[in-house]
Every structure is written in structure tokens, then in C-alpha cells.
Amino acid sequence: MARNLWLPITGGSVEEIISAHADPLALLESGAVPALVVRRALAAPALTTVLSRLQGQPWQRRTASYKTLGVDLGAYLGRYPHPLDLLRAEVHSTCTKTTDLQRHHANATAAFDLAAKRAGLYAPVEALHRTLRALFAARSAAAEADFLPAPGVFRMHRPGNRFAPHADTIHAAEWSSACGGKRPRRGVAPNFRPLRRLRHQLSALVSLQQPRSGGELRLFSTNWEALMSTCNQRGVAYDVGIAFPHWPRAAAMLHPREYNLTVTPGDVFIFNSNRVHEVLPVVGQQPRLVLGSFVGYSHSPREEMRMWS
């Protein structure tokens, strides 16, 4: 595929996308397309309600403490007495066939759902789940139990905030073993151990508000495992991914396909986060607001999809 033809698949519904592409998840996995976009998956009235609720939260009245990553709503809600004190960005939706883990997942998700519904913030969560469930159902006749949703993270990027080039993976320790460097913290790794059988990882997000300038998601076709096969590029492994501090120089050498994804409020967009990507700096005073989650899936020994955040 020519570099300039590396384009996302867009549609007004999952059904519209599937009618043109029988297995869109496979296209993401292979790198044939940079992203899937379901336009206006979150209806305008629901979006207006969610924005009015989010804009009244404490994060609007405080400065981002970590300029690179922006502000997670859950990090602030924990500091204030508030009806949303169950809403936590740190919830890890781990799942295996172990009863205790399944019970933990169900309890954590139920607590989040209840808090989000009471606060009027559940509509984007439902839109994200509905979209992913439809994609999973189209791919496989697997049982509903093999799709496990999770709440996601509400995140704000303020002026100047960005995500530097990186790839997301819960297998980041493999990079350290192959290419050297500090290994991710062991204290965090157990949270993801049950998910490691899910080799493929996506990011799925709902756009709630876009800045007037900047904040685009820039996607590259380069998979972190391809970079690991040569160890020619510097990567820094961390708990859930690998940062590439010299990526502009690496990209000039590797000539990957790239695409700047532009979305509008209400869109659900999904991309292969095992591939290098970044969020460009937000320009101006209007922040970037999204609800997002990681999505892992596998084909063997059975089709399954898990969300976590």
C-alpha cells in the first residue's frame, strides 16, 4: 500500500464499516489501516450533558501536575469529598478464569458504572462498550463471556500537554531483555499478568472535546516488536509501554507510513497502540477531553477481547 494511501476506515456505524470491510480488526492488527472511526457514536445531547458535568470537576480548577501526560479525572476526585469518589482512573480490569479475579473485575466495573450513571457520565462509557462489542461480535461467534468491558479513563490534555512518541504494550519487559535498559517496575507487573496471553493491543477512545488547534493523534506504521528485532533505536521500557525519545530521528531513517488522525466530538476511534504513536501538543486554551481504554484480544486458543485502563 502506498504511503500516502494509509487511510483510516470511517463510517456512521460499526455496521456500515463491516459492510465494507468484513474484519476491520484484522486490518488494524496487520497495519493495513491506521485507525477505525465511528462518527457520532455518542449522540450530541448526551455529549453536551457529559461536557457540562466534566467541566465542573476539580480538574478544571487546578494546574496539570504532569505536563507530558495531562490530567486524569480520577487523580483529582480522590482528593475531594465528591459523589464520584468511586470513579478511579487506576482501576485495572484484569480477567482470567480465576473466580476471585472475575469477581474483582465485576465489582470494580459495577462501582464505576454506578458512580458514572449517578454523575451523568455513563453515556460515553456505553458508546465505547457498544462499539467494541459490535466489532467483536462481527469477528467471531464467540460467547459474550469472551468480551469483557471495563470503565476506561477520562483524561484531559491542557494547553501544552502532549503524549511523546511511544508504543503501548504490557510486554515491555521483553524490550529490556532484548535491547537492554531498565526493566519496568515489578510492583505493577502483577496487575497485568493475567492479560499477557493477549498479544494484540488496541486503544479505543471517545472524543469528548477537541482543542481549537493541536492535540492531533499522530500514528505511525512501525510496530514495537519490529524495532525490538534490531534494537537499532533507543527505547525506554516502562510499566505499560516503551517510549522512543529519539523517534523523529528514527522516523527519518525508517520512513514509516504516518497519519494525523482528526476526530470530532462524539466520535469513537480505535487504533493499534502496539505501533508507535503520539499526541501533538495542545495549542490554545481549549483542552482535549477523551474517554479511553486499552483493548487486548487474541485468536488462540479462542477468540477473546478484554478491556482495561
Cell numbers for 231, please give them: 534494537
Cell numbers for 58, please give them: 476539580
Cell numbers for 128, please give them: 465505547
How many domains are contained in the chain?
1
Reported as a single tens digit per residue, the pLDDT across 26-36 is 999 999 999 99
Tell me what the mean pLDDT of segment 164-189 comes to. 84
| Residue ranges making up the domain that contains 214 | 3-308
pTM of the full structure: 0.85
Q: Are strands 35-38 and 9-11 parallel, antiparallel or unpaired?
A: parallel
Q: Does the structure show a pLDDT above 80 at 247?
A: yes
pLDDT of residue 49: 92
Cell numbers for 294, please give them: 486499552
Reported as a single tens digit per residue, the pLDDT across 22-81 is 889 999 999 999 999 999 999 999 999 999 888 776 665 555 544 445 555 554 444 433
CATH assignment of the domain containing 112: 2.60.120
- How far, in Å, CA of 106 to CA of 100, rounded? 10
Give the E-state strand segments of the chain in sequence order: 9-11, 35-38, 71-72, 147-148, 153-157, 163-168, 200-209, 213-214, 217-223, 236-238, 241-243, 258-261, 268-272, 275-279, 282-283, 288-298, 304-308
Cell numbers for 241, please give them: 509501554
Angstrom distances, CA of residue 209 to CA of 1, 117, 155, 158:
32, 20, 11, 11
